[in-house]
């Protein structure tokens, strides 16, 4: 590992909790992509999001949903803002 690389480990839930009130992108197991403001998350990684949009493969808005609940067991992965600091 080079001197510039740093390994930081944290709980995925701690990272998600830090993202509350930030925009996240959620990839679901059925290949749906959702982007919106994270309002709340629980220990099962169920998410409540607002101003949520379904995004197509080109990154364009496909459908606007508004406020939604995403069940945690449907999530494949989540992309958070690179400005979120882990400490």
Average pLDDT over every residue of 35-49: 97
Domain of 69? 21-79
Assess whether pLDDT exceeds 80 at residue 3. Answer: no
pLDDT in tens, 53-68: 999 989 999 999 999 9
Nearest one of 24, 27, 76 to 51, comparing CA atoms: 24
Angle, vertex CA 55, rays to CA 16 and CA 31, nearest 5:
75
Proportion of the chain above pLDDT 90, given as a percent: 72
Residue 52 located in a structural domain? yes
Residue 9 located in a structural domain? no
Question: What pLDDT, on the 0 to 100 scale, is given for residue 83?
Answer: 84
How many structural domains comprise the chain? 1
Contact 63, 54 (CB under 8 A): yes
pTM: 0.85
């Amino acid at each position: 590992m080079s001197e510039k690389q740093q390994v930081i480990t944290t709980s995925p839930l701690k990272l998600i909790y830090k993202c509350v009130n930030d925009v996240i992108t959620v990839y679901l197991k059925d290949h749906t992509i959702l982007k919106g403001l994270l309002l709340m998350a629980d220990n099962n990684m169920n998410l409540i999001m607002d101003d949520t949009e379904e995004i197509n493969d080109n990154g364009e808005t496909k459908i606007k949903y508004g406020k939604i609940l995403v069940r945690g067991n449907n999530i494949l992965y989540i992309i958070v803002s690179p400005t979120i600091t882990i400490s």
